Amino acid sequence: MTLNVGSDFKQRWLTAPQAVRQTFMNDLHRICEVLQPETQLHNWIAEDQRAQQQSQEKIEQAYADLKARLLEEARQRRQLALELKLEQQRAEQAAYAAQLQQDEAQRFAEQTQALELMRQSLDQEISNYTARYEQNPELPAVTFNQAATAVSDDQIVSELESVRLRLELEAETQIEQAVTIFRARLHAAAQEEIDYILKNSNFSKE
């Protein structure tokens, strides 16, 4: 006589929890007892009903424990994947911030160079401007009204100071704009990482 245990019995048996396999073994052992001549059938039936109830409870508990374990393992895998993703995100943000800093440093260097060229141009303009007020050499046949053409030293100093202040203000404006842009980009990068963490934080609640 062949016992029909269904398809894929070997696979189902190997994947069943240990408590389930042990319960089935106990049930088979109890069934074999009924074949013994000394077994009292009435007592065996009463004991079998009680044992079947216990077996059912053990099997249900074993599968409930298995389900809980599988869910926990899945949660841990998702949590690990999230942590790896966040670590990668932080690395990308750090690289992005470093690139921003490098770009801003290069931009600042270019602006500094441009300001230096501007300063040189202004210095040249100042030189040309002051050259116009230099006193012409005296000529024997020509006389000038010095009161009408002379420019005081205070006026020249005032003009030079005005040019210097204009150059400093333009330089400060360029630097402040560069710093403001850099801070805004860093803030946007940090906010993006915070939004990503908040969006994926539900994994830790499972």
pLDDT digits (tens, 9 = 90+) for 168-199: 777 777 777 777 887 787 777 777 777 777 77
Please tell me the distance from the alpha carbon of residue 14 to that of residue 164, in angstroms, as a whole number: 88
Number of domains forming the structure of the chain? 1
Q: Is residue 3 part of a domain?
A: no
Task: Please state whether the predicted TM-score (pTM) of the whole model is above 0.95.
Answer: no
Domain membership flag for residue 72: yes
Query: How many C-beta atoms lie closer than 10 Å to residue 20's C-beta?
Result: 20
Does residue 82 belong to any structural domain of this protein?
yes
The pLDDT assigned to 68 comes to 92
pLDDT at 204: 45
Domain with 96 in it? 11-129+152-205
Residue 161 lies in a domain: yes
Establish if 137 belongs to a structural domain: no
Report the candidate in 136, 141, 17 with the shortest Cα–Cα distance to residue 69.
17
C-beta separation of 166 from 123 below 8 A: no
pLDDT at 72: 94
In a domain, 111, yes or no: yes
The pLDDT of residue 142 is: 46
> Would you mind telling me the total number of residues written for the chain in this entry?
206
In a domain, 183, yes or no: yes
With respect to residue 18, please indicate whether it lies within any of the assigned structural domains: yes
Tokens of 118: 């501007």
pLDDT digits (tens, 9 = 90+) for 106-147: 888 888 888 888 888 877 877 776 676 555 555 454 444 444
CB burial readout 26-37, b (16+ within 10 A) else e: eeeeeeeeeeee
Handedness of CA 11, 15, 16, 19 (dihedral sign): positive
pLDDT band at 203; cut points 50, 70, 90: very low
